[in-house]
Structure 1
Amino acid sequence: MSQYVKTFHAVEIGDGGDGRWAERVRPAMVRAEDWLTEEGQTPEGAARARRLFEEHMPELVPALDRLSGQLASPQARTLLTMAAVRPFFSGCTQIGRKGTLLRNYDFAPEHCEGTIVSSHFLRPVIGMQEVGWGLLDGMNNAGLAVSLTFGGRFVHGPGFAVPLVLRYLLETCRTVGEAMGRLRTLPIAIPQNITLVDPERTVTVHVGPDIPLIKTPDSCAANHQHLPVPDEQERTTRTQARLAAIRAAGIDAAAMLRPPLYQCAYDEWLGTVYTAQYRPAEGCATYLWPGESWEHSFIGFSSGSRTVSLGLPDESDDR
């Protein structure tokens, strides 16, 4: 197992117009074309991405224009629509129960932005930022929390990268029911599992470019959907084993910080980069690592940085 040290940042960006957001994201946007599909790098593809955004997320057009106006690169401006993004795949395990959302995000540490953002585009939102202004997970001040996992099927179609979908749900929805209604109308580019939590309801759904929204039997997800998992994929990802483990553990942050839910295969892009626990009715978010935690809320957001160690001491990861 490789050992990693990673620095996470917490930043308040308001509506994104005062320069704090741009200062944070500009360095990552220098190679925006690396994220874009070949079509998205053409003027015609950029125009189609913009039209798709305007059609499906009109409420966020003013915010998109405010942010993109601070970026010099046309590729970076197209990237913010997240409607022409190359497919990317991650691990992750998540559960929603009793008003709480708990998840592990598994990826390559150097490719995770590691920025916790407090924003107010349409309403107050706190979450883990990715690809400029998308979110890997987060909550809003109305009491809704959402998070994503990769659905495990390697298909790709026209539509949005799911981090922007999570941003859109938190900006425009107050409840799980509202968010599910929105999800049914949004084209999503690759298979994803989305867990949604409000004070009254928890749901996990499967979405993707080739399936309608499918509600799962319970509010848990790892990295597969409705189809059988090939043996080789299970050996690599242990998605079924992790799903069984999180179902058995329930809302237990300590269980998320030990195997099989905590993963250490960082060189394979399958190591746990952070654990997040959202209690949206209380407006509280806690990010956890072995021996370390960092709490934020709408009334007490803690701007700054934390450097943490990833991985478990003397842990072979049982591989």
Structure 2
Amino acid sequence: MRQQHKTFQAIEVGDGGDGRWAAYARPLWQEMEALLTEEGRTPEGADRFRALFRAHMPEMAPVLEHLAVQLDRPGAEVFLTHAALRPFSPACTQIGQNGTLLRNYDLRPDQCEGVIVSSCLLRPVIGMQDMLWGLLDGMNDAGLAVSLTWGGRSAHGRGFAILVVVRYLLETCDTVDEAVARLRSLPVAVPQNLTLVDAVKAVTVFVGPDMPPTVAPDACAANHQHLPVTDEQERALRTQERLRAIRAAGADVAAMLKPPLYRPVDEQGSRTLYTAHYRPAEGRVTYYWPGESWQQSFGDFAPGSRTVTLGLAG
């Protein structure tokens, strides 16, 4: 199997106001700006997206404005709403079980920022950051953890990229039940699956622009929802195979680092980029790659970088 290297960073940004977040975000701005939709580039569209954010995530509106000032780039505020972004569709597999959240994140290496961030925008949060302040997965100081997978359908509507939804839930919710209730009022642009875990509960919720939030049969997710998976989808994503495998394995890190859950590079260059094992009640997360791991926690967060090998030997 062909191997590839990728460097992951761990950074602390505090409340975003002391320059550390901006120092990280500004070098990425040209790349990020290209992801804005045409509507988001117009004054009228920008006003609509800012209003949407204020209506649905009012607690985060001052943070949004604060970060946009720090970034100090034209279009920064509308970009940070994550309501005017071109859709993306990572793969991924995840399970919540016994107070832990375990997930594999699958995408092309050059499309993942690979940044573990410790922040205190509204409260302490640690997670894998993407699109400057969104989260692919994460946990908060109340013991709630959340991660995402793509829902596998091509529907698209007016709403938020799931990355900022994960951020919002972790910034404003203490429990799974509170987060699930909050999801019912949040428009989501693309079908996604969220797995949520606290000390007493674990659920997966299907969300999308064309359906109300729907609790899945169990706290597992790959890349499909309530509709049948076509043969073509299964050949491309092996989503049903991965879901069966994770249900059989449970929250087993070793299983996540082997096929079929650990995905080799496909025709589009997508592959498993990392495994994350959250223990939110302990405030700890460990990121895994074949032969390597990196633990972070609220009590002992260690900024730095790691260059890891993607792909299994042999």
TM-score by length of 2: 0.98
The answer to whether the aligner puts 1:310 opposite 2:307 as a matched pair is no
Query: Residue 162 of structure 2 aligns with which residue?
Result: 162
| Equivalent residue number for residue 133 of structure 2 | 133
Q: What residue in structure 2 maps to residue 317 of structure 1?
A: none
Contact between 1:90 and 1:269, CA under 8 Å: does it hold in 2?
no
Tell me by how many angstroms 1:36 deviates.
Answer: 1.2
1:64 matched to 2:64: yes
CA distances 1:140-174 after superposition (whole Å, capped 9, x unpaired): 00000000000000111000000000000000000
RMSD over aligned Cα atoms: 0.9
Residue 43 of structure 2 corresponds to 43
Gaps of 5+ in 1: 315-319
Distance 1:168 1:127 in 2: 12
The one-letter amino acid paired with 1:218 is D
Query: How far does residue 269 in structure 1 lie from its aligned partner after superposition?
Result: 4.1
Aligned counterpart, 1:26: 26
Distance 1:12 1:266, change over 3 A: farther
Corresponding residue number in structure 2 for 1:217? 217
Match of 1:145 in 2: 145
| 1:88-107 mapped onto 2 (5 Å cutoff) | 88-107=88-107
Task: Give the Å deviation of 1:75.
Answer: 2.3
The superposition leaves residues 261-300 of structure 1 with CA deviations (integer Å, 9 ceiling, x where unpaired) of 0001255243000000000000000000000000000000
Contact 1:143 1:174 in 2 (8 A): yes
Count of aligned residue pairs for this structure pair: 314
Residue correspondence of structure 1 range 254-293 to structure 2 within 5 A: 254-265=254-265, 267-293=267-293
**What is the CA distance between 1:95 and its match in structure 2?**
0.1
Task: Classify 1:269/1:211 alpha carbon distance in 2 versus 1 (closer, same or farther; 3 Å).
Answer: farther
Query: How far apart in 1 are the matches of 2:267 and 2:291?
Result: 22
Q: Aligned partner of 2:224: which letter?
A: H
Q: Check whether the contact 1:158–1:188 (CA below 8 A) recurs between aligned residues.
A: yes
| Displacement of 1:74 | 2.2
Shifted more, 147-156 versus 62-71: the winner is 62-71
Find the residue that maps to 1:63 and give its secondary structure.
Answer: helix
Q: Give me the whole-angstrom Cα distance separating, in 2, the residues matched to 1:302 and 1:283.
A: 14
Matched-pair identity in %: 65
Q: Is the 8 A contact 1:101 1:278 kept in 2?
A: yes
Would you say the 8 A contact 2:11–2:303 is kept in 1? yes
The residue type equivalent to 1:40 in the other structure is G
In structure 2, stretches of 5+ residues that fail to align are none
2:74 and 2:59 map into 1 onto residues whose CA distance is 22
Instruction: State the secondary structure of the residue aligned to 1:118.
Output: strand
Provide the C-alpha distance between the structure 2 equivalents of 1:224 and 1:230, rounded to a whole number of angstroms.
Answer: 10
Structure-2 change in CA distance of 1:270 and 1:289 (3 Å): same
Deviation sequence 1:11-32 (CA, Å, 0-9, x none): 0100011111111111111233
Preserved contact between residue 162 and residue 192 of structure 2 (Cα < 8 Å): yes
Task: Tell me the equivalent position of 1:248.
Answer: 248
* Distance in 2, Cα, partners of 1:145 & 1:183: 15
Distance 1:164 1:90 in 2: 15
Contact kept, 8 Å, 2:22 with 2:71, in 1: the verdict is yes
1:184-199 equivalences in 2 (<5 Å): 184-199=184-199
* Separation in 1, partners of 2:145, 2:293: 19
Aligned to 1:108: 108
Distance in 1 (CA, whole Å) between partners of 2:132 and 2:44 is 22
For residues 165-184 of structure 1, what are the structure 2 equivalents within 5 Å?
165-184=165-184
Aligned-partner SS, 1:70 = helix
> What SS does structure 2 have at the residue aligned with 1:164?
helix
Q: Give the partner amino acid of 1:290.
A: P
Native 8 Å contact 2:152 2:224 kept in 1: yes
How far apart are 1:33 and its partner, in Å? 3.0
Query: Which amino acid in the other structure matches residue 268 of structure 2?
Result: E
| CA distance in structure 2 between the partners assigned to 1:249 and 1:142 by the alignment | 28
Name the CA distance, whole Å, in 1 between partners of 2:268 and 2:117: 27
Secondary structure of 2:75's aligned partner: helix
Q: Show structure 1 runs of 4+ deviating over 3 A.
A: none
Q: 1:6 to 1:121 in 2, by over 3 A?
A: same
Contact 1:97/1:219 (CA < 8 Å) preserved in 2?
Answer: yes
How far apart are the structure 1 equivalents of 2:180 and 2:122?
A: 19
